[in-house]
């Protein structure tokens, strides 16, 4: 759809053409109907009304909060509960009534805003209720329960904003549980929220990937995959994955990109006519490999002393074993499917080789023979090949994102190696000069290449 800015400028130009008699009234009306000139002012008026309603709602909300705070201690517990519940129900009911209107307009947008406000009020109600009834708990528990409540609202209403808010709250709960490890470790009783944190690599996908397809939201899909990979890596890092046995490091390096690259929409029986999310998963796989190769290209990582010599599998927590087994099984099933359907092209073969090598080198280094120099050389070579591959794909497809991604990786690798090792200042200056000239020349040449290819 054409932007309002373009239509406004076009209307000014068309009116000028009619004044100069370059076009007649009939042609002006045709253009006016085609580009909906009459709706421009209505859109501006609707935005102004939304701003007024938003500003007024904020002021009203502040007035209510101030009034409640001034009389909170004097009111009885029953009155407080009635106020909290009536406010939550009233906001969500008004939001649902406005949001369910069939046509797009300020009422529908205001309804979405009220539903998001209702989700925020849900958290405030939970905190105040627990305070009134002396139900103490940890902060991460509040975030997780609040996030689950908003997630249920998102599934019921099929609303992307609520899904993203739910992901944010559950992510905050997970991060809070990691940072407050001492508090988390003192929980001796059985807690389903504790199990939720421990099984987050699997639950993150189960909670948000179906919601992404339900809402057709690419952002929720990205958040779901990032939550799965981040929680798996965080669980392994908490067990000292760098200084532990080799197979744990191999899993941390290879499992996430293998799972992301082989992911397919057909897992959820998505019709081929719907929007595909396969490309997003593969982009995240390449992003993970880029970060992994860059971090492991430093010599200091490989000189970290081994902290565990015993068999780590005997101390590996059961939830983490279950997470790894489920995700590994899904990954093997997806790769087997690729092989059976003969969808393994040259790019997939190269990526698979990189993944296997990135798993084999840490395993060899930690379990068989420590060889930091060889490991650094291999991961620098992998980083270089990945950067060159991105540049090549960017040139063949004419995509700036791939081309500049490869250029940034290549420049970052040269710059990091130069700072990591003790080289002469004149040599550093010479290398920086070459990098700067190379980036400028490559950028100018690429822009000219893209224009030539599209013309």
Residue 132 in this model has a pLDDT that exceeds 80: no
Both structure tokens of 379: 């991961």
| Positive or negative torsion for Cα 119, 124, 127, 131 | negative
pLDDT for residue 244: 60
pLDDT for residue 188: 47
Q: How many angstroms separate the CA atoms of 299 and 358, rounded?
A: 15
pLDDT band for position 151 (cuts 50, 70, 90): very high
pLDDT for residue 53: 67
- Spell out where 139-218 has E strands: none
Q: How many angstroms separate the CA atoms of 94 and 108, rounded?
A: 11
Q: Which helix (H) or strand (E) holds 69?
A: helix 38-71
Average pLDDT value for the chain? 79
- Tens-place pLDDT, residues 379-408: 988 988 888 888 888 777 777 788 888 888
pLDDT for residue 187: 45
Residue 410 in this model has a pLDDT that exceeds 80: yes
Tally Cβ neighbours within 10 Å of residue 158.
13
In sequence order, what are the residues at sequence separation of 6 or more whose Cβ sits closer than 8 angstroms to the Cβ of residue 422?
Answer: none
pLDDT band for position 183 (cuts 50, 70, 90): very low
Both structure tokens of 105: 């307009």
pLDDT for residue 245: 67
pLDDT for residue 305: 65
Residue 184 in this model has a pLDDT that exceeds 50: no
Nearest to 225 by CA among 204, 194, 207, 200: 204
Tally Cβ neighbours within 10 Å of residue 288.
22
Question: Using the 8-state DSSP alphabet, how is residue 314 labeled?
Answer: G
pLDDT for residue 269: 67
CB of 307 closer than 8 Å to CB of 244: yes
Q: How many angstroms separate the CA atoms of 223 and 172, rounded?
A: 13
Residue 189 in this model has a pLDDT that exceeds 60: no
pLDDT (average), residues 230-258: 79
Both structure tokens of 173: 């709960």
pLDDT for residue 355: 92
Residue 126 in this model has a pLDDT that exceeds 70: yes
Here the contacts of 369-376 (C-beta below 8 Å, separation 24 or greater) are 370/302, 370/306, 372/299, 372/302, 372/303, 373/299, 375/296, 375/302, 376/296, 376/297, 376/298, 376/299, 376/302
Give the CA angle between residues 275, 281, 285 to the nearest 5°. Answer: 160
CB of 338 closer than 8 Å to CB of 260: no
- Tens-place pLDDT, residues 24-66: 888 888 888 888 777 777 777 766 766 776 677 667 766 766 7
pLDDT band for position 272 (cuts 50, 70, 90): low
pLDDT band for position 454 (cuts 50, 70, 90): low
Alpha-carbon dihedral of residues 256, 257, 258, 264, nearest 10 degrees?
100
pLDDT for residue 289: 92
Tally Cβ neighbours within 10 Å of residue 93.
12
pLDDT band for position 73 (cuts 50, 70, 90): confident
**Report for 172-186, 260-274, 343-357: range of highest mean pLDDT:** 343-357
Length of the chain, in residues: 455
Residue 284 in this model has a pLDDT that exceeds 80: yes
CB of 394 closer than 8 Å to CB of 429: no
pLDDT for residue 402: 83
- Tens-place pLDDT, residues 198-224: 888 889 889 999 898 888 888 899 999
């Amino acid at each position: 759809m054409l932007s309002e800015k373009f239509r406004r400028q076009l209307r000014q130009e068309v009116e000028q053409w009619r004044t100069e008699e370059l076009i007649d009234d009939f042609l002006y009306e045709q253009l006016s109907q085609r580009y909906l000139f009459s709706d421009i002012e209505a859109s501006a008026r609707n935005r102004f009304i939304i701003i007024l309603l938003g500003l007024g709602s904020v002021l009203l909300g502040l007035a209510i909060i101030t009034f409640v705070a001034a009389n909170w201690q004097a009111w009885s517990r029953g009155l407080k509960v009635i106020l909290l519940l009536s406010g939550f129900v009233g906001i969500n009911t008004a939001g649902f009534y406005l949001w369910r209107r069939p046509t797009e307009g300020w009422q529908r947008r205001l309804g979405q805003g009220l539903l998001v406000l209702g989700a925020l009020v849900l958290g405030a109600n939970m905190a105040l209720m627990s305070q009134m009834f002396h139900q103490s708990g940890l902060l991460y528990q509040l975030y997780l329960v609040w996030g689950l409540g908003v997630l249920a609202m998102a599934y019921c209403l099929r609303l992307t904003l609520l899904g993203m808010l739910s992901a944010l709250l559950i992510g905050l709960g997970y991060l809070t549980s990691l940072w407050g490890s001492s508090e988390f470790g003192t929980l001796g009783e059985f807690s389903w929220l504790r199990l939720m944190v421990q099984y987050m690599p699997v639950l993150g996908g189960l909670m948000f990937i179906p919601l992404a397809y339900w809402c057709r939201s690419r952002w929720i899909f990205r958040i779901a995959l990032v939550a799965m990979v981040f929680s798996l890596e965080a669980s392994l890092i908490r067990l000292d994955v760098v200084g532990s046995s080799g197979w744990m490091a191999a899993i941390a390096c290879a499992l996430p990109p293998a799972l992301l690259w082989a992911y397919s929409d057909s897992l959820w029986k998505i019709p081929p006519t719907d929007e595909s999310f396969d490309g997003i998963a593969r982009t995240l796989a390449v992003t993970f490999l880029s970060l992994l190769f860059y971090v492991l290209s430093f010599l200091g990582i490989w000189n970290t002393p081994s902290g565990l010599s015993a068999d780590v599998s005997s101390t590996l927590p059961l939830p983490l074993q279950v997470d790894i087994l489920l995700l590994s099984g899904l990954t093997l099933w997806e790769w087997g499917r690729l092989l059976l359907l003969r969808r393994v092209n040259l790019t997939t073969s190269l990526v698979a080789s990189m993944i296997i090598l990135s798993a084999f080198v840490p395993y060899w280094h930690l379990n068989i023979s420590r060889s930091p120099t060889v490991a650094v050389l291999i991961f620098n070579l992998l980083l270089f090949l990945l950067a060159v591959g991105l540049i090549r794909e960017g040139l063949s497809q004419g995509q700036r994102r791939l081309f500049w991604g490869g250029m940034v990786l290549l420049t970052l690798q040269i710059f990091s190696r130069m700072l990591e090792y003790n080289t002469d200042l004149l040599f550093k200056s010479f290398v920086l000069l070459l990098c700067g000239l190379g980036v400028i020349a490559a950028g100018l040449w690429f822009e000219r290449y893209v224009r030539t290819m599209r013309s």
